[in-house]
Each structure stands twice: as structure tokens, then as C-alpha cells.
């Protein structure tokens, strides 16, 4: 079972930013993003450096929107999909903030906010920065095939989002912004799916597990959240998650969306939708937080999902262990 | 600058265990370890599965020594050196405890204890499990050369420790064991060293930076800790760190040791000493905690160090960003 916690002294989201590549700007959320890079090299020599460039841009814009400098931040929490999480590592060096590295695959956005909220509310530090992201071209060549291969994709495959998102949290009387009110730390769920091109199906049971735990342990009615957003299940995974929730007595279809389904809605050749750490990170730090700000919703649950496998474990015949972490944000 | 925190309600270390491979048992700490595997496959088909086997053995033994079951643990925090931290991921699945994955390279033992101590003292959960480890053969083939290559090693190279360590923390009135009293979250330090076979030199400045911050921000006299242990600087890195500390006015040579220098002391063909997440994890969860228990020391500072690079960033000409996290443990 997941571990639900009510946050005793809820920190506020005082700054946030989402930066994306050109493909993401073709989707329905173009007007929500803070920065759109016109080409996916971000002016860098390698795609890995391009990914780091997005991290820095997201962090700097989020700090700017919060009216803060890097030295105002007590610590940053970040991670990414690359081996040894080098995008977070190198940008932590560049920005110079004390750094706690995490790895939760595409659940990073929620994991970093869970940790930051609990640490701040416990009295450790005044402000924390949470950052993650992904890049189609770094993920594709690390997890799947060389880009030059131009490989055909299966119908259940998803398209890694090229984006980074950053959230700045603050605990201080008088701080303004949505509050992180409750969290659920997920447990690892593995339904023995081995197809690395069907992440939605692999991750859906973990998402359902965490959502059910969050509602049950928080004693929340089904309509407590105006919207529940899973991170990157895609269209197939979203259907599976919805089915699993209903089978366990929780019907929230009318108030359930998936960041991976939303970000590429209407686009062709993206399979079941978006994936990658940048998927929930960019949708949360634009569309979702903008929606809370505008009063479209009052309470939102972000359930970022991660597939905790590696190309090597797949080669060794292992299944795909998955996790989902939930963050309840209230305006 | 690193971020120093005094832990407001210090949790206690109620259980700990170190498990190692056969080479580690040839060193001076053989009698300190809980489990010594007679061969480095741990009865598994691949070295990656062998690494996971050590994680499970360390977790189970630490729980057993604490008189606890997995379901008594609120959450576990763990990571490792493998791409996508699969040893921690898969064993989190197998043991079924809500899971927060981290990546701080060889600083994992300290990073996990920092997080667990702050979360528990903030009122989140009763007990946390911290785990990490490494395996010579998984690290060698991922970071350096195929094992079959039998590659020559440079004099500054270190030998990845085959081991896992686990610490169980509890906050409860009446709990017994050493307390985590203070921590410093490190910042990333990069002195532009690019030689992946000279990790000690790359990481020493980060270690010195964090140690200096911990003493200064904690307003601690040089003799506050009976011993300061860096994680895996090895003999060369330890000398460099000591020099940097002295240049900055802190002389602690008589009370300064390095886990990487200690674990393989007297052994041949290990270069400058041990490295890997399992190095500080196994030395801390045996020799150091046993020493506190026996009254050999009253206060100890563990400063685990991590090199936050990847083979890919080295190939792309990048230097090696490093980090060190400090945990002050008092009997």
C-alpha cells in the first residue's frame, strides 16, 4: 500500500515554469507554456546538452516569476531519465543550489514535490526548487534505437515529450499560491508486463493503486478533487487506469485527465500520447497550475507515473516495475 | 554553499546491516560485516541480479536486527549506480515498501539518511529504511570496460566495492540507538577534472566543501566529532581533502578516515582503494555503527561523496561534477 500523508504546514507554489520544444507547441497547450524553443537542439551541440538547457531555462523562468534568486533557495530536488540523471546533475552544478538528486523515472515531478513539501513543512528550509524534464532524442537513443534508424513504432508506443518543468515551493506566512495539502508515496507495482513499447499498460496499475490509496487513506469523497491528472499513461493506459479504478469502486471519469493524452491531443504519429519526465512536468507547470490560478479548478491531484526498468533489465528478461506518486494541490 | 540543518527531533538508528562479497572479506573489516557471500554471483544468473540480491539481504538483516517487519516501515529511500537505479527499483518491488528513489552516485547512503531523518523528524512516518550498494562487476562493465577485456588500471583508479548497506531509522520516544543530529546537503562542485580514473581527486573538493560548511554553519569546534569519515575518496583523494581542509583552517587529520581507504587496507591491486555506493554503505553499517555501539566513538560525521557524471558525458568531453552530503551521528 502507498503511504498517505497530510502535509502539516502546507507550503505554497510561489513560482512555476514550463519550457518545451517545437513539437509540443503544435499541441493544444501552446499558449500555456512559458518558453517554446524553435528547434530541438536548443542551440547546443548534443541533445543531452539541449536537455540541460531546458532545465536551466525552466529553473530561471520559475525563479523570475517568483521574484527570487538562486541564493534564495534552500535546496533543489531534481532528476531525469538519462543514465546517472546527468541533466539534473549538471544543471545543479550550473545553478549552484544545494542538491538532492532523485530517480523515479517519469514520476520525478511528483516525487520531488512530495519530498520538498514534507521537508519544508517539517521546518527544513524556506524555499525549495523542484525540476525535471526529458527530450525525445535523448530518450529515444538511450532506451530504444539510434535516431538515424528511423524505426517503426508500435501502436501502443508513446512519444517522449521534449520539455522541462520547474516548481518553486515556499513556506512562509503570507506567501501566496496553491498549497500542497497531501501526498501519497507510491509502492512499486509490477503486473509482469515486459513490452517496453506499452508503458501505459505497465504503469496503469501503479497509478490506480496510488489513486485508490490516496482517496481511501485521506477519507476523500470521489468528487473531492475537481481534476485528477495522471502523468503519462497515454490514451490506452488512461483507459486501463479508469477501468481499474471503477473495478475498485472509484468512478472519476468526468474529472480524470492524463498529461500524456492532453499534451499531444490532435497530433498525428505520437502513438498513444506523450511520455517522459517532461510530460507531467510541463503540463503541471503550465495548464494545471494556470487552471488553478484562473479558478478553473480548486483542487487537483497530480499522479505522476514512472516505469522503473532499464534497457539492460529488459535484455535480461525482466518485467517492468512501475510506481506512481500523488500530490494534492489546492488553491 | 551547502545547506546545514540541525535535526529538530533526531530519529534513532534502530537497525543496520552490511553484506559484502568475498574480496571485501579479505580486508580488515571482515569481522564487522553481517553477511559475507562466498562468491560474487550471489547465486544469481547475472551480476545485476547479484547486486539486487545483496540489497535484499541487507534490508532483511537490518529489519531482523531491529526486530521489525517490512510492513512496519513507512517508506524506504534507496538508489544505486546502475542506469535507472534498477537494483533499488527491483528490490523495492520485492520488499513492497512505499519507495522514494534517489540518485546521488556514491553519496547515496548519506543522501538517503539525510532525507529520512528530516522526513521522520518532521512527523512523516514512524520508521524509514535507507539502502544502497554496488557491485564491482556491474559498475566495471557499465562505467569502464567489458569484464572480459581484463583491462589494465591506472594508479589513481579505485576498486568498486561489492556490498550493500541498510540503515533503519525510527522516531519514537524510548527508541534506542545512535541519533542523526545534524546534516548538510551538499552543492555540486566541479574543478574541471575529466579523468574518470581519478575519482578521488574529482570528489575531494566536494567533500572538503561540505565538511567545512558543516563545521562552520553548525559552529562546531574541530574536535566536535571523534571521527569524520569520507565515503570513497581513496588514499589520494583523502590526502587532497585533508590538504584542502587545512588550507581552510580545519585540521582534523588525527580524526579523519576514508571508507574507501579503510575497507581494502593492505590488499593489493585495488589502486587507491574502494569506491561505489556500497563502500560507505557497508563501512558505515558495520565498522562505524559498531564503533558507536561499543563506545569507541561518541560522535561521527559520515560524508559520502558522489561523482555525478556518466560514460556519455565523458564521451562528450564534459568534466566530472561532484557532490558530498554529510550526516552527523551521535551515540
Confidence of residue B47 (pLDDT cuts 50, 70, 90): very high
Q: What is the mean pLDDT of residues B279-285?
A: 98
**DSSP state letters, B67-98:** T--GGG-SEEEE--SSGGGHHHHHHHHHHT--
Name the H helices within B10-69.
47-66
Question: Backbone phi, then psi, for B123, in 5-degree steps?
Answer: 100, 10
| Residue B276 contacts residue B234 (beta carbons within 8 Å) | no
- The two beta strands, B322-330 and B299-307, are antiparallel
* pLDDT of amino acid A150: 84
- Name the more confident of B173 and A15: A15
Confidence of residue A98 (pLDDT cuts 50, 70, 90): very high
User: Taking CB atoms and an 8 Å limit, are B83 and A318 in contact across chains?
Assistant: no
Could you read off the pLDDT of B168-227 as tens digits, one per residue? 999 988 889 999 999 999 999 999 999 999 999 999 999 999 999 999 999 999 999 999
C-alpha cell at A294: 484562473
If we measure between CA atoms, which residue out of B7, B85, B260 comes closest to residue A119? B7
Identify which of A111, A121, A309 has the shortest CB distance to residue B86: A309
Q: Has residue A276 got a pLDDT over 90?
A: yes
Our measurement of the distance from residue A237's CA atom to the centroid of its chain's CA atoms, rounded to an integer in Å, reads: 16
CB < 8 Å to B185, chain A: 75, 98-100
Q: Has residue A53 got a pLDDT over 90?
A: yes
Radius of gyration of chain A measured on its C-alpha atoms: 18
Q: Which DSSP letter does residue A285 get?
A: I
Average pLDDT, chain B: 97
B194–A contact, CB cutoff 8 A? no
Identify which of A92, A187, A312 has the shortest CB distance to residue B97: A187
If we measure between CA atoms, which residue out of B252, B242, B238 comes closest to residue B201? B238
* pLDDT of amino acid A277: 98
Q: Has residue A113 got a pLDDT over 90?
A: yes
Residue B182 has a CB neighbour count (10 Å cut-off) of: 24
Q: Has residue A220 got a pLDDT over 90?
A: yes
| Residue B198 contacts residue B19 (beta carbons within 8 Å) | no
| Residue B248 contacts residue B208 (beta carbons within 8 Å) | yes
Reduced to 3 states (helix: H, G, I; strand: E, B; else coil), residue B166 is strand
d(CA B98, CA A190): 13
User: Taking CB atoms and an 8 Å limit, are B122 and A122 in contact across chains?
Assistant: yes
* HSE-up of residue A218 (Cα within 13 Å, Cβ side): 27
Average pLDDT, chain A: 97
Confidence of residue A100 (pLDDT cuts 50, 70, 90): very high
User: Taking CB atoms and an 8 Å limit, are A118 and B124 in contact across chains?
Assistant: yes
Our measurement of the distance from residue B131's CA atom to the centroid of its chain's CA atoms, rounded to an integer in Å, reads: 9
Identify which of B89, B111, B186 has the shortest CB distance to residue A188: B89
d(CA B269, CA B32): 22
d(CA A258, CA A212): 16
A8–B contact, CB cutoff 8 A? yes
User: Taking CB atoms and an 8 Å limit, are B96 and A188 in contact across chains?
Assistant: yes
* pLDDT of amino acid A151: 84
C-alpha cell at A174: 503570507
> What's the gap in Å between the CA of B122 and the closest CA on chain A?
4
Which of A2, A196, A313, A314 to probe the B interface (max B CBs under 10 A)? Answer: A313
Question: Backbone phi, then psi, for A58, in 5-degree steps?
Answer: -65, -45
User: Taking CB atoms and an 8 Å limit, are B309 and A86 in contact across chains?
Assistant: yes
d(CA A56, CA A53): 5
Beta bridge partners of A229: A257, A302
Q: Which of residues 235-274 of A touch B (CB under 8 A)?
A: none
CB < 8 Å to B90, chain A: 308, 313, 318, 321
d(CA B246, CA B330): 25
Residue keyed to cell 555503527? B289
d(CA A312, CA A195): 13
CB < 8 Å to A311, chain B: 83
B38–A contact, CB cutoff 8 A? no
Residue A137 has a CB neighbour count (10 Å cut-off) of: 18
Whether the model pTM is above 0.95: yes
Percent over 70 (pLDDT), chain B: 100
Q: Has residue B151 got a pLDDT over 90?
A: no
User: Taking CB atoms and an 8 Å limit, are B83 and A311 in contact across chains?
Assistant: yes
Could you read off the pLDDT of B221-276 as tens digits, one per residue? 999 999 999 999 999 999 999 999 999 999 999 999 999 999 999 999 999 999 99
Cα–Cα distances (Å) from B60 to A31, A144, B139, B280, in that order, read 51, 35, 24, 19
Q: Which DSSP letter does residue A274 get?
A: E
d(CA B51, CA B42): 8
* pLDDT of amino acid A172: 86
B133–A contact, CB cutoff 8 A? no
Q: Which DSSP letter does residue A16 get?
A: E
Q: Has residue B116 got a pLDDT over 90?
A: yes
A32–B contact, CB cutoff 8 A? no
Identify which of B102, B316, B321 has the shortest CB distance to residue A46: B316
Amino acid at each position: 500500500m502507498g503511504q498517505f500523508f497530510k502535509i502539516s504546514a502546507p507550503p505554497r507554489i510561489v513560482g512555476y515554469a514550463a519550457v518545451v520544444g517545437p513539437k509540443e507547441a503544435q499541441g493544444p497547450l501552446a499558449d500555456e507554456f512559458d518558453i517554446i524553443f524553435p528547434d530541438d537542439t536548443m542551440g547546443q551541440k548534443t541533445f543531452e546538452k539541449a536537455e540541460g538547457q531546458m532545465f536551466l531555462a525552466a529553473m530561471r523562468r520559475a525563479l523570475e516569476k517568483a521574484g527570487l534568486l538562486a541564493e534564495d533557495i534552500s535546496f533543489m530536488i531534481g532528476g531525469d531519465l538519462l543514465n546517472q540523471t546527468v541533466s539534473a546533475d549538471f544543471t545543479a552544478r550550473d545553478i549552484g543550489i544545494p542538491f538532492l538528486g532523485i530517480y523515479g523515472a517519469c514520476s520525478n515531478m511528483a516525487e520531488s514535490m512530495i519530498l520538498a513539501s514534507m521537508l519544508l513543512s517539517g521546518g527544513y528550509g524556506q524555499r525549495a526548487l523542484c525540476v525535471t524534464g526529458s527530450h525525445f532524442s535523448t530518450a529515444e537513443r538511450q532506451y530504444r534505437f539510434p535516431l538515424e534508424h528511423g524505426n517503426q513504432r508500435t501502436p501502443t508506443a508513446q512519444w517522449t515529450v521534449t520539455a522541462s518543468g520547474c516548481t518553486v515551493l515556499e513556506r512562509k506566512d503570507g506567501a501566496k499560491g496553491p498549497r500542497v495539502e497531501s501526498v501519497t508515496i507510491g509502492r512499486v507495482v509490477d503486473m509482469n508486463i515486459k513490452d517496453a513499447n506499452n508503458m501505459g499498460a505497465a504503469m496503469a496499475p501503479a497509478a490506480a493503486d496510488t489513486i485508490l490509496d490516496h482517496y481511501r487513506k485521506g477519507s476523500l469523497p470521489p468528487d473531492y478533487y475537481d481534476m485528477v491528472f495522471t502523468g503519462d499513461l497515454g490514451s490506452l493506459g488512461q483507459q486501463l487506469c479508469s477501468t481499474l479504478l471503477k473495478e475498485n469502486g472509484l468512478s472519476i471519469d468526468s474529472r480524470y485527465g492524463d498529461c500524456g493524452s492532453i499534451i499531444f491531443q490532435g497530433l498525428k504519429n505520437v502513438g498513444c500520447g506523450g511520455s517522459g519526465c517532461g510530460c507531467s512536468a510541463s503540463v503541471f507547470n503550465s495548464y494545471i497550475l494556470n487552471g488553478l490560478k484562473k479558478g478553473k479548478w480548486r483542487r487537483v491531484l497530480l499522479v505522476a507515473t514512472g516505469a522503473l526498468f532499464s534497457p539492460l533489465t529488459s535484455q535480461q528478461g525482466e518485467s517492468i516495475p512501475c510506481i506512481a506518486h500523488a500530490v494534492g494541490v489546492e488553491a
